[in-house]
Amino acid sequence: MNKRIVSIAFSTALVISAGMATYAVLADARSSHSETKTQADGADAAIPSPTPTIARPQATTRADIDSALAREAPNLLKAIGFAERSDLTGLSEFMSWKQIPCTTGDTRGGIAPACKELGLAEGATVPMFHYLLQTNSYFTRSGLDSKLGPFLKAKPSLGLITRNTDGTGLITFTLNDPAQPDLRGLDFQVDFNSATPLLGFVDRFAGSTPLDSIREDAARSGKPQPSILYISPAMKAWEDEKSAAQSSPQPAPGVKPN
């Protein structure tokens, strides 16, 4: 009797063990299949890290930042004044002009205008100011009248100042041109330590504020943000307007918004 009970128990144990092993293999196979499907479907992709927030500005009022610039970067303060007065002639005195050889002969695609067009001998250089939209995009002084001049007529007002640890930084002027409502900003790359602090410029439209660029650069590079020296009320309003537009539900294709 005891032998028979032992035999039955042993047989049962074998069946249970085999069943457990089979279940483990099937579970592992299902798990592997599920992981493969998930990875193939892209559903298990890494969640992007949160977009960095912007640090509080060091100066809370325009008087504060003007006072700080008067002590630390007086030429930059003068340049800001000329920009806000729409004075391109005065502003040009604080631009860092790059000497670029005029384009020789029938060469196409040169950075500077043709020597013949300028009445210069081949090898002569032309002072040009950097347009930051492209690496090799520059304007002569006369070219700035048509490119930068209209921006300076759009009531530029100091909106943002940032500074990097190497002394370079960014200045953005908010713009107000009823004829071009989407044209909202004018950026200048600057060098706080230079007698000619303006390094280059680019225009900016409503959908992307300079604070967006700072956040994106910090998220992409993992490096610290530049020091935020000043943010104007107009810049904050632009940022709030852009955020509200991005969070509003968009109509389906072919459906006109109310």
Residue 258's pLDDT is what? Answer: 58
Rg from Cα positions in the chain: 31
In a domain, 156, yes or no: yes
In a domain, 83, yes or no: yes
**Residues spanned by the domain of 217:** 62-97+129-245
How many Å apart are CA 126 and CA 124, to the nearest integer?
7
Residue 121 is assigned to a structural domain of this protein: no
Please give the tally of structural domains in the chain: 1
Say if 108 falls within a structural domain.
no
- The predicted structure's pLDDT at residue 108: 78
Q: Is residue 230 part of a domain?
A: yes
Q: What is the pLDDT along the chain (258 residues), one digit of tens a residue?
A: 444 433 434 344 433 344 443 333 333 433 333 333 333 333 333 333 445 677 889 988 999 999 999 999 999 999 999 999 999 999 999 999 999 999 998 777 789 999 999 999 999 999 999 999 988 999 999 999 999 999 999 999 999 999 999 999 999 999 999 999 999 999 999 999 999 999 999 999 998 899 999 999 889 988 889 999 999 999 999 999 988 887 766 666 666 655
Question: What pTM was computed for the model?
Answer: 0.75
Q: Which CATH number does the domain housing residue 87 bear?
A: 3.10.450
DSSP string spanning 135-187?
Answer: TT-EE-HHHHHHHTHHHHTS--EEEEEEE-TTSEEEEEEE---TT-TTEEEEE
219 located within any domain: yes
Residue 233 maps to a domain: yes
What confidence score (pLDDT) does residue 119 get? 93
| Nearest Cα residue to 154 out of 169, 136, 174 | 174
Assigned domain for 196 exists: yes
